[in-house]
Chain A
Amino acid sequence: MVRLITHNLLSCHVKGCTRNNFPLRFQDVKVELREAEFNAEFLRNFVPRIEWKALVDAGKELGDTSLPEELPEMLGDEFLKKLHHVLLEIHVEEGAMVCPNCGHVYKIMSGIPNMLLTESEI
């Protein structure tokens, strides 16, 4: 499955596509929600590695508007629980991710994103 924690780390890597190639936009998605174990320390440690705006926007694309536009200074439990849900419990099972720059379509099938390129695209 593509969770938003993974989506936040993926960019378009078509040859020559190096600007405005992140975040990939979701298209025609089928989403499932699955509970995951809450781990506040993991989340606090992971926050510095997140591109915040990309995460907030991706959440909205999948219909979740619970995250604030700006990352709060204090990472309290209430905030972390929202973050936990958006980052780890929303699973994109089918659909695609599209590069905002070159338009390349990366399909998601049975929960697995296909980021492979053909030889001419590398």
Chain B
Amino acid sequence: MLSLPTPDLSHLTHEDYERVYEPAANKEDTFILLDALEADVEELLEAKPRICLEIGSGSGCVSTFAAKILGPSECLYLCTDINKHAARCTHLTGRQNNVTLDPVLSSLSDAFNQRFRKCGGVDLLIFNPPYVPTADEEALNAQGDADIAGAWAGGKLGMEITNQVLNNDILSHSGRFYLVAVKQNDVPSIQERMNIEQGMPPLRHHYSDRIFLDSLPLRIRPHAADEVLDVLHLSQPFDKHLTA
């Protein structure tokens, strides 16, 4: 259970939730992210992230929570979404909770990638991707239509969109990546890719219950009968160049 207050979302309306993914007790993915962030709060405070990016910020609930636990003036909280209603809700949710979020209508981190690669990148990356496996065409159409289906239609193995984020290589040397995944996303291959393709040192794998594992996923909490959620915490504890 969270000991810190969940962000106030009382300003969002039924109409908003027809267009924007709703954090709700029966959709645990938002709350598993809040749990994971809260479990790491001491480490995060020590790491002092200065650029936080949430991809697909939706209601803005997770970034607002991050800003509450890290401190509103301690970090820049960038939030992207392809859904204009989501960007508006993100903005309003920040304001409702007295934190400043900077929403940008963008696919993934596209508009930031060039500068991120020059300025060191993102210190805290948060992504609750569209992870439900669907036909690739459906995933691409959902992103193209920029509607609520974009929040869950994930393509082959539910990994199409997540793969694009991993390929962008925008994490800073001491960056942390909180990624929600389900069993079907083939978590071992995510880890392998982070290690091999991007030349990262071995990653620490951290699940929301603070179990650290060398091998693979366990865990997790029942969501639907066939859906198991993980928050993968990928971090780069050593400077890439020192360990290369």
Q: Which residues of A line the B interface, CB within 8 A? A: 1-3, 5-6, 8-11, 13, 18, 21-22, 36-39, 42, 45-46, 48-51, 110-117, 119
Contact = CB atoms under 8 A, between A and B. Distances in A.
B91 A9 contact: no
Contacts of B134: none
Contacts of A49: 50-51, 119-120
A113 B105 CA distance: 6
Interface stretch (B34-42, B110-118, B195-203): B110-118
A113 B67 CA distance: 21
Interface residues of B, number: 33
Interface in B118-133: 118-120
Contact of A112 (B75, B104, B118, B146): B104
Chain B, interface SS category: mixed
Contacts of A113: 104-105
A111 B75 CA distance: 20
The list of the 8 closest CB pairs from A to B, nearest first, reads A115-B111, A39-B73, A49-B119, A37-B73, A115-B106, A11-B114, A114-B105, A9-B115
Given A3-B102, A45-B48, A45-B50, A112 B91 contact: yes
30 contacts: A5-B76, A6-B76, A6-B78, A8-B115, A9-B51, A9-B78, A9-B112, A10-B111, A10-B112, A11-B113, A22-B114, A22-B115, A37-B72, A39-B74, A42-B73, A45-B50, A49-B50, A49-B51, A50-B119, A110-B88, A112-B84, A112-B87, A112-B91, A112-B103, A112-B104, A113-B104, A115-B106, A115-B110, A115-B111, A116-B106
